[in-house]
Amino acid sequence: MCKKRTFVLIVICVMFLSGCGNDPGNINENGNGFVPDPSLKSYTASFLELFDTVTYVKGYGKDEEEFKQTAQELHDRLLVYHELYDMYSDYEGVINIKYLNDHAGETVTVDPKLMDLLLFSRSIAEKTNGKVDITLGSVLCLWHEAREDSINDPENAYIPEMSDLLEARLHTGFDKLELDPEKNTVRFLDPLLRLDVGAVAKGYAVQQVCNTMPDGMLVSVGGNVVATGPKADTGDKWTVGVQDPLGEANQYINKLILDSGAVVSSGDYQRRFTWNGKTWHHIIDPETLLPAELWHGVTVVCSDSGIADGLSTALFLSSLEEGKNLLREYGAEAVWVALDGTVYYSDGYNKYVKN
């Protein structure tokens, strides 16, 4: 039996980038009759454990108690998705990704929220020509084990054998995953198929929850940032910093201004280890089965956090031109940092940049 998670809401002063601007760029036009309320007060909350990262929330309320209630609702809704999309832990009464991986070959009835993620992931895989593919779990598992072992014991660091990676790739592909959205059933047609939803689950979950939250919040779940509308007290845009993958944690390529939408980054500066004098990161190219070596970092600006999450990985694995074509398909924008430090922008990115 799993231990019940304990949640403590802490209202703190976290350094969100603040300020307003007259830049006209925004992701969604606010045609919902939004009216700022100067009587509202701003608060910030933080909580742990969800998606193995830190969640920060900035929002508003008539008083602190009202804000705490809103933040608690956000936490509780995110917790549902966290447990459903978890690849590593079991939860009593929850059929999640780990359960599916552990019961390969069986026909399993899943929660509609989990089915929605699987259907969304299949669509992203098709649109990105397999660059973002949750069925690559058997390959990614080998890299995950190597990374964890190497971080814990750097003197005996290693990378997976290519022969093992090639064997694992035989057990990937959506043709081996049977989805029935009418019955909400899932079946692995290959018993060695494994799902890894790390490239899409967090962004998708954050978007689904933020769709149910009040206007005028800024939510950051491990760097996946979503604004649910302009600041509720003033109507000003939010300012979001784009981290420089070659700099310190508080160094930014630029700062973006947006009313609503998402900002998501992928890069080679997290979850990495050293072997044979080389740094190996966690974003694996499905074609080479090795960590990609095109970019240091990519940041995507999009109306939807789930799409932005998938796109940030796809662009990290793609050439500049391929990436721009994908962005146009989704109406998104991006900034890339190349291995030599050169910064590239999509055509419409500058409309979000704070002057």
Q: Is the pLDDT of residue 24 over 70?
A: no
Report the percent of the chain where pLDDT is more than 90: 80
For the segment 327-343, the average pLDDT, to the nearest whole number, is 95
Other residues' Cβ atoms within 10 Å of the Cβ of residue 239: 18
Q: Is the pLDDT of residue 5 over 60?
A: no
Q: Give me the phi and psi of 221, to 5 degrees please.
A: -115, 100
Q: Is the pLDDT of residue 9 over 80?
A: no
Mean pLDDT of all residues in the chain? 89
Quick check: 286 and 249 in contact, CB under 8 A?
no
Alpha-carbon span 243 to 251, nearest angstrom: 6
Domain coordinates in residue numbering, the chain: 97-188
Q: Is the pLDDT of residue 39 over 90?
A: no
Cross-strand bridge partners of residue 299: 265, 335
| Band of residue 212 on the pLDDT scale cut at 50, 70, 90 | very high
User: Lowest mean pLDDT: which of 21-25, 204-208, 254-258, 325-329?
Assistant: 21-25
Contacts of 150 by beta carbon, 8 Å cutoff, 6+ apart: 156, 157, 158, 273, 274, 275, 280
Instruction: Name the residue with tokens 């845009």.
Output: 237
336-355 burial string, b = 16+ CB within 10 Å, else e? bbeeeeeeeebeebeebbbe
Q: Is the pLDDT of residue 248 over 80?
A: no
For the segment 144-170, the average pLDDT, to the nearest whole number, is 96
Q: Is the pLDDT of residue 36 over 50?
A: yes
Other residues' Cβ atoms within 10 Å of the Cβ of residue 141: 16
Alpha-carbon span 308 to 311, nearest angstrom: 5
Alpha-carbon span 93 to 80, nearest angstrom: 12
Report CA 322 to chain centroid distance, whole Å.
21
Most confident of 36-50, 259-273, 322-336: 322-336
| Band of residue 215 on the pLDDT scale cut at 50, 70, 90 | very high
Q: What is the pLDDT of residues 51-70, one digit of tens each?
A: 989 999 999 999 999 999 99
Q: What is the pLDDT of residues 226-243, one digit of tens each?
A: 999 999 999 999 999 998
Quick check: 300 and 264 in contact, CB under 8 A?
yes
Report the percent of the chain where pLDDT is more than 70: 90
Instruction: Name the residue with tokens 């029935």.
Output: 180
DSSP sequence for 163-232: HHHHHHHTT-SGGGEEEETTTTEEEESSTT-----TTTHHHHHHHHHHTTSPSS-EEEETTEEEEESS-T
Other residues' Cβ atoms within 10 Å of the Cβ of residue 9: 15
What is the DSSP-derived secondary structure letter of residue 2?
Answer: P
For the segment 185-189, the average pLDDT, to the nearest whole number, is 98
Type of residue at 287: E
What's the CATH class of domain 97-188?
A: mainly alpha
Type of residue at 68: K
| Band of residue 38 on the pLDDT scale cut at 50, 70, 90 | confident
Token pair in block for residue 139 = 């390959």
| Band of residue 142 on the pLDDT scale cut at 50, 70, 90 | very high
What is the pLDDT at residue 33? 61
Quick check: 238 and 257 in contact, CB under 8 A?
yes
